[in-house]
A and B are shown apart, each in its own frame.
Chain A
Amino acid sequence: MAGSRRSITSYEVRLAFPLALFFVVFFLTPLVILFILSLRSDPQGTSHGVGQYVQFLGDAFSLGVLGSTLWLGVKVTVLALVLGYPVAWLHVRSPGWAKGVIMLIVLLPLLTSVVVRTFAWIVILGRQGIVNTMLIDLGLIDTPLRLLYTETGVVVALAQVQMPLMVLPLITALSRIDPNLADASSMLGAGHWRTFRKVLLPLSLPGILAGCLLTYAAAITAFITQSLVGGGQMLFMPSYIYQQASALQNWPFAAAISIIFLVAVLAVVSIFNVLGRLSRGYAHG
């Protein structure tokens, strides 16, 4: 019997078959169909070629939409990180009961639909919204500011809507750090800032990267928040795809935009991955 015993850490590849099959049928196949569709030269499919890609990549406006979408993701991610890091830190350093409260506050947005969260932002940012009313009552402004349907509005709303995706990985990473390390650092004469920069930040880097990756991917593809808070004149990739596919029934071009968007996002993701690998070296080396 000893011969048939296997190491308990190796597992059967065959166990992954159901998942693999699921992926092939529901993810890979549609993707291939999408790609084939994008090679049509016109919606009727009379001839094939890379015309749709040439059209997108040779058009400054379309490239601008792609650029502004990727850049929007960067802004949202940075804001979510700046606001989310202290929350995660607070959670890790709080006593038990406070941990529960903070976790509840972090998770609460996930329990409601993204549409509801986004509508709340319409109420907050509107002309008679909380922000404008407060500024007018304080006498800081005379006429309401235009906050809704601006890019700043979209960035702020997205950062809040996607915040749990940033905070949860950060909490995981931060709670793995031995609290004694910070004490040891200050014993050795490092100030708070130095301890943060030299000890906590490097050790939490995997969490930061995971959080950034999730927030980034969610922010650039957030069709609902982008269109509700951004309005109809601010065009990002998801609404560009929707417009071409739905309003114009130009499926080949919409498919080509989708593929280009996918490739661009994959590029960003692989940059994150490279950074992740480097960060491991940084933390342990």
Chain B
Amino acid sequence: MQLNRRHLLQTALTLGAMHAFPGITWAQARPLVFATFTGSWEEAHKAVLVPAFRKATSNADIVLDPMLSVDQISKINAAKSNPPIDVMLHDPGPALQAIAQGLVEPYPVERSAHFKDLIPAAQEATGPSPFFQTVGLTYNPDTVTTPPTSWADLWKPEFKNRVGITNLNSTLGTGFLVEIAKMHGGSESNIEPGFKALDQLKPNLSAVAANPGQLATLFQQGQIDISPGNFNAIQILKARGVPVEWVAPKEGAIAFKTTIHIVRNSPNQELAFKLIEAALSPEVQAQLMEEPYLIVPTNTKVRMGGEIAKALAKDHADMLSKFVFQDWAKINEQRSAWIERFNREIRI
């Protein structure tokens, strides 16, 4: 066997891991497994985050294993003592579930070089938030000539049979329901006005998609002309020539923190930390802000620019005033009841 730097590093790390976790000494040293999301997330992470991580760790082995949040939780739950994943990526709802189920290792904040530079909302000790997702209004500029300005526009009679939403299985669908509840005097703990508003939306509804990805298909097929939509998903559609535009409604765009976590009992804790550090670094975040990724940065050292500065916010102060954050701890308490109610009541 040839001895080179990589082998030495691997051996050292393995020995370190074995020392730190005697229970897993039988476990085979394996590459760092990062469960990112599918689609544009995977593309962005493969192109920007992974090279940055490799550079920081002298080419440590890393594998991207893209899957939904809920699948990450299920997989780790099935093998808690020797999890098949080292780093998780989560929407706010599943993140709280993962933390509640004890699957998350606290982030070593004191060792982090970038944690203190994040905007306050992103500084979570259970796992910081390197990215934001923003939900606003998506519309087809060919058929919707006056751009919408408010969530309330979805109820306009001219959009009869033109509106698409998703069900509550997705973060987007749930976040949208909470937002329209707030618009009508409700809140995370009082969803009643939201359901009432959804009921009044029925004549306009053309489709209730099973997931946000389906909304994209429906725009392409002309099945819907306006819907709540994820800023990043729309940029990708736009780049492929689909006539769609995205606006932040005047009530504020809904912002979801995407958080990144070290998995408890992971045999690759140190590498996991390094990956997350790379994701928080201004270099990676600045690169991910560029076309075609357009991912909203959370590190205040990154200067907003390009399409993000134009469509979303020109700096981080502007962002905090324009974005609406939701209380997902409260939402999670009742989400199953809402889903059940949605199942029963929303039939078109």
B167: chain A residues within 8 A (beta carbon): 232-233
For window 296-348 of chain B, which residues contact chain A by CB distance below 8 Å?
A: 335-336, 339, 343-344, 346-348
Contact A128 to B70, CB < 8 A, known contacts A231-B208, A243-B339, A249-B97: no
B68 close to A246 (CB less than 8 A): yes
Contact A243 to B223, CB < 8 A, known contacts A227-B210, A233-B346: no
Interface residue? A149 (CB, 8 A):
yes
Partner of B221, one of A127, A239, A243, A246: A127
Taking the closest CB of chain A, its distance from the CB of B223, in whole angstroms, is 5
B211 close to A129 (CB less than 8 A): no
A243: chain B residues within 8 A (beta carbon): 169, 339, 343
Taking the closest CB of chain A, its distance from the CB of B220, in whole angstroms, is 9
Interface residue? B36 (CB, 8 A):
no
B217 close to A149 (CB less than 8 A): no
Complex CA gap A37/B325 in Å reads 36
Contact A231 to B336, CB < 8 A, known contacts A246-B71, A246-B169: no
- How many residues on chain B are close to A (CB under 8 Å)? 32
Complex CA gap A122/B215 in Å reads 12
Taking the closest CB of chain A, its distance from the CB of B69, in whole angstroms, is 9
B170 nearest in chain A by CB position? A247
Interface residue? A250 (CB, 8 A):
yes
B14: chain A residues within 8 A (beta carbon): none
For window 210-245 of chain A, which residues contact chain B by CB distance below 8 Å?
A: 227-228, 230-235, 239, 243, 245
A148 close to B223 (CB less than 8 A): yes
A233: chain B residues within 8 A (beta carbon): 167, 208, 346-348
B225 nearest in chain A by CB position? A127
Partner of A235, one of B211, B221, B336, B343: B343
Partner of A128, one of B173, B217, B221, B343: B221
A63: chain B residues within 8 A (beta carbon): none
Partner of B223, one of A127, A227, A245, A249: A127
Give a binary string over B193-214; 1 marks a CB under 8 Å from any A CB, 0 the rest. Answer: 0000000000000111111001
Interface residue? B222 (CB, 8 A):
yes
Interface residue? B294 (CB, 8 A):
no
Interface residue? A97 (CB, 8 A):
no
Partner of A247, one of B169, B214, B223, B348: B169
Interface residue? A248 (CB, 8 A):
yes
Give a binary string over B223-241; 1 marks a CB under 8 Å from any A CB, 0 the rest. Answer: 1000000000000000000
Interface residue? B166 (CB, 8 A):
yes
Taking the closest CB of chain A, its distance from the CB of B333, in whole angstroms, is 13
Complex CA gap A183/B339 in Å reads 61
A248 close to B221 (CB less than 8 A): no
Interface residue? B104 (CB, 8 A):
no
Complex CA gap A247/B173 in Å reads 12
Complex CA gap A249/B207 in Å reads 26
A128 close to B207 (CB less than 8 A): no
Interface residue? A126 (CB, 8 A):
yes
A150 nearest in chain B by CB position? B348
Interface residue? B73 (CB, 8 A):
yes
Taking the closest CB of chain B, its distance from the CB of A114, in whole angstroms, is 15
Taking the closest CB of chain A, its distance from the CB of B206, in whole angstroms, is 7
A119: chain B residues within 8 A (beta carbon): 217
Taking the closest CB of chain B, its distance from the CB of A34, in whole angstroms, is 13
B123: chain A residues within 8 A (beta carbon): none
Contact A232 to B223, CB < 8 A, known contacts A246-B70, A247-B70, A249-B70: no
B interface vs A, CB < 8 Å? 68, 70-71, 73-74, 97, 161, 166-169, 173, 206-211, 214, 217-218, 221-223, 335-336, 339, 343-344, 346-348
A interface vs B, CB < 8 Å? 61, 119, 122-123, 126-129, 143, 146, 148-149, 227-228, 230-235, 239, 243, 245-250
Q: List 6 A-B contacts (CB under 8 A).
A: A61-B344, A232-B166, A233-B348, A247-B70, A248-B336, A250-B336
Q: A128-B221, A149-B206, A233-B347 are in contact. List 12 more A-B contacts (CB 8 A).
A: A61-B343, A61-B344, A119-B217, A123-B221, A146-B206, A149-B208, A228-B214, A230-B210, A231-B214, A232-B166, A232-B211, A235-B343
The 3 A-B pairs with the shortest beta carbon distances in the complex, nearest first, are A232-B167, A126-B221, A233-B208
